Structures are given as C-alpha cells and as structure tokens.
C-alpha cells in the first residue's frame, strides 16, 4: 500500500471495511481538520441513507452519485448493504480523498461497480444530461451548508430520482445566526422550542424553491434531525405544473411565545404577526416547507428494513422508531419542560400527556427530534387542562 503522507487507521462501519485518517482521541476534533474528511459520529446519517435506498428503490437496480464522498464509506455501504445499488460515481474534489477512495474500493472488491472521480461536485453534476446520464440518487453531504450544491444536485437526478441533502450549519438554521440563514437559504429562522423542526422546514423549503425556477418539482419524502445535523430526501419530477403544485406547500410559520400557538399560512398571504388566540405578538420563520416532511408509510418501511439487520443499524433504530411513530401532519411541538415553565410546576411524562390528549379526541404524538416533545393540534386551554390534571395526579400519588 502506498504511503499517503498521513497516518491511516482501518475501520469498520456496517458491512464496510475502510481506511480513514487516524482519528484523534476524544470527541472534540473537527472532521474538517483531517487530511481527508470523515465524521465517525455521522454513522446514523449513513445508516438511514442505506435503508432509505433499500426501501424506496426496492426491486430496481439504480445508479447513484456520492458527490462529496470523503473516504467513500457511504458508497461502499450502499453497494454492500443493499440489493438496489448497481453502480456508484464516487466523487471528491480533494486529490487525497480521490486516492483514498480508490484504495477503499479496492479492499472491498468493488472496483467494477464504481467510477471514482476527482471533480468539483457542481461541475460533475452539471455534466448530467449532457456528458453523463442522470442518476436515480444523488447524495449531497458537505461539511456545513448544502446550499451551493442543491440546484446541480437536483439537475443530476433523473425523473423520479431522489436527492438526499445534509446540513450541519445548525446555528444558522435554528436562529443563532439569522444573517447566515438569510444569506445561505434566503429565509428567516426562528428561536423557538421547536427550532430544529423549523430548521428542517427551511432546508426543505430551500430545496423546493431553488429548483422550481428550473421547472423541476422536488418534494420532501423523508426528513430527520439528529445530533449536529439535519437531512432531507426529496423526490424529483420535471414540469412547471408539478413545480407549481409543490410550491403551494411553501409558506410562513408563526409562533406566539405567550400562548404557544403555532400557525402556518401560504407564502402569498404573508406571515401572521398578531396572535388570533391571545392578541400577543407572533414571531415568524420562512419561507419554509409547511407540508409533511416525511411520508408515514415510507418511515415505516425504512424502519422495517432496519429490523432485518438490527446488529448493523443498532445506533439508528431509536431514531427510525421515533420517525415512524411521529404524526407528520402536525407542525411544531412542545417540550414538556417548556410547558411546565409556562403552566407552572414540574413537567409530566410526554407519553401520559399524549395518551390523555388522544382520549379527548385530539391528535398527538411524540417527535423524533426531542424525546420530551409533544406534537398536537389541541388548543392551549385543552393542553393546560390536561397538563394540570396529570400534574395533580402525580402530586396526589406521593
């Protein structure tokens, strides 16, 4: 094996065996500081990608593009752990990454199934439809924002194809750096108890808006938040009519910190600034995706795929179970600790709150984003009444 000029270590992830730059001890290192990018803590991201492909493209043989591949582990796993991926273009602009990817493909005996390229991701994807055919699946997983790659990522997808995009620039998306969010995503974020869901909706909305001008419809079908990143999978179709239809789910999200009301309206209506429930001032986010971020049926299929090999996907089972149990038709959620601050007293168990709300005929569910969060369409009065009833029972049991 040729010396790369930096220290390597052999690693395993899923069914893949691969070399990566030696990881410094402890969790504080920055993956961008490595000679070739690799983040060992993003395994669930790669798990879900593999499982999504197996579930969504079941029965097909597809071509995929890993446009910002790093060490190439995602591509290796797509080939080894699914029966749907037949060929992968594995790309990275770094020459060090290019050489390491070739080595990793060789040790996994996957050379005949891969095309390894060393190009700018946008240049590679812009060739699709001309010098190279479009892909069934395009993966965009940069360090930071995927915004610069979204338009060409979708251009690289064939009709009915899918693009998966990851964002790790969470301070911009959750409202800590609003100027950065405006610059990258042309959207206003919002500091709220459900800011991570808003982050997902901003990214999904940006994908939809970015490609609609090309006469392309990109509809979110599976989205999740985990640790330091968020990820959206969107299915791609072509045509101005379809693009217009998807754009109808772009709008504004308003939140009242006084009475916890969450409202969404069409982009054409403008954000709601005064709360119709209490008259208080509402803050808002958007433009953002206000439709369903995830298909309930698809979330179930992906979870069932994980159960077929639980030893491979152990770290992701809780995330996927949360996704399949979530009511994706509800926008926003309320952490029980925040409810306790508003209503007074100590928090109650989310599961008990959800059960009681359902008994009263309201929709309610957990959220994969926050184990303490409750999604519901119950008004504040009903939420407060149930919360106080459960807290009284809790105090009475002591």
Q: What is the pLDDT of residues 1-31, one digit of tens each?
A: 556 888 999 999 999 999 999 988 866 778 8
CATH code, 8-289? 3.40.50.150
Mean pLDDT, the chain, rounded, equals: 95
- Beta carbons of 243 and 216 less than 8 angstroms apart: yes
Least confident of 24-38, 104-118, 233-247, 363-377: 24-38
Query: What is the pLDDT, as a whole number, of residue 1?
Result: 59
Each residue of 22-60: b (16+ CB within 10 Å) or e? eeeeeeeeebeebbbbbbeebbbbbbbbbbbbbbbbeee
Per the model's pLDDT, the better-predicted residue between 145 and 258 turns out to be 145
pLDDT reading at 397 higher than 70: no
Identify the bridge partners of residue 222 per DSSP, sorted by sequence position. 233
**The pLDDT of residue 321:** 98
Please check the confidence at residue 319 and state whether its pLDDT lies above 80. yes
**pLDDT for the residue numbered 398:** 45
User: Over the stretch 85-142, which tens digit does the pLDDT of each residue have?
Assistant: 999 999 999 999 999 999 999 999 999 999 999 999 999 999 999 989 999 999 999 9
Share of the chain above pLDDT 90, in %: 90
Whether 334-398 and 8-289 are alike in CATH topology: the answer is no
Q: Which pLDDT does position 395 carry in this prediction?
A: 64
- Triad 230, 72, 170: Cα angle to 5°: 20
**pLDDT value for 29:** 77
**So what's the pLDDT on residue 230?**
98
**Confidence (pLDDT) at 195:** 98
Per-residue pLDDT averaged across 241-258, rounded? 97
Q: Which listed CATH number (3.30.300.130, 3.40.1180.10, 3.30.56.70, 3.30.60.50) goes with 334-398?
A: 3.30.56.70
Q: How far apart (Å, rounded) are the C-alpha atoms in residues 173 and 156? A: 25
Q: Copy the structure tokens of residue 288.
A: 């953002």
Residue ranges per domain, the chain? 8-289, 334-398
Burial of 269 by CB count in 10 Å (0-12 exposed, 13-18 middle, 19+ buried)? Answer: exposed
- pLDDT exceeds 90 at position 54: yes
Q: Is the pLDDT of residue 396 over 70?
A: no
């Amino acid at each position: 094996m040729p010396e790369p000029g930096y220290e390597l270590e052999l690693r395993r992830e899923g069914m893949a065996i691969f070399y990566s730059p030696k990881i410094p001890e402890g969790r504080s290192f920055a993956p961008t500081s490595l000679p070739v990018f690799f983040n060992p803590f993003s395994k669930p991201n790669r798990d879900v990608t593999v499982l999504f492909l197996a579930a969504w493209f079941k029965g097909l043989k597809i071509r995929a593009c890993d446009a910002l591949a790093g060490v190439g582990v995602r591509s290796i796993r797509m080939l080894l752990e699914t029966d749907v991926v037949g060929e992968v273009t594995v790309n990275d602009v770094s020459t060090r990454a290019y050489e390491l990817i070739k080595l990793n493909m060789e040790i996994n005996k996957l050379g005949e199934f891969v095309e390894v390229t060393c190009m700018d991701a946008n240049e590679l994807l812009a060739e699709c439809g001309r010098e190279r055919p479009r892909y069934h699946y395009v993966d965009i997983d940069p360090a930071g924002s995927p915004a610069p790659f979204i338009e060409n990522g979708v251009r690289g997808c064939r009709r009915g194809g899918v693009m998966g995009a990851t964002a790790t620039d969470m301070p911009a998306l959750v409202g800590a750096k609003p100027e950065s969010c405006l610059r990258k995503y042309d959207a206003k974020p919002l500091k709220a108890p459900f800011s991570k869901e808003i982050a997902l909706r901003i990214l999904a909305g940006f994908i939809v808006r970015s490609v609609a001008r090309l006469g392309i419809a990109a509809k979110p079908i599976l989205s999740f938040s985990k640790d330091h990143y968020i990820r959206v999978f969107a299915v791609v179709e072509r045509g101005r009519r379809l693009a217009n239809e998807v754009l109808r789910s772009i709008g504004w999200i308003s939140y009242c910190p006084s009475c916890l009301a969450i409202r969404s309206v069409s982009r054409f209506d403008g954000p709601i600034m005064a709360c119709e429930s209490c008259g208080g001032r509402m803050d808002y986010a958007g433009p953002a995706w206000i439709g369903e971020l995830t298909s309930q049926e698809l979330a179930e299929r992906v979870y069932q795929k994980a159960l077929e090999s639980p030893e491979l996907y152990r770290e992701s089972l809780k995330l996927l179970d949360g996704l399949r149990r979530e009511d994706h038709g509800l926008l926003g959620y309320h952490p029980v600790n925040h409810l306790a601050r508003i209503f007074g007293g100590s928090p109650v168990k989310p599961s008990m709150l959800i059960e009681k709300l359902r008994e009263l005929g309201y929709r309610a569910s957990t959220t994969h984003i926050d184990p303490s969060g409750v999604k519901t369409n119950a008004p504040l009065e009903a939420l407060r009444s149930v919360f106080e009833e459960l807290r009284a029972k809790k105090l009475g049991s002591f």
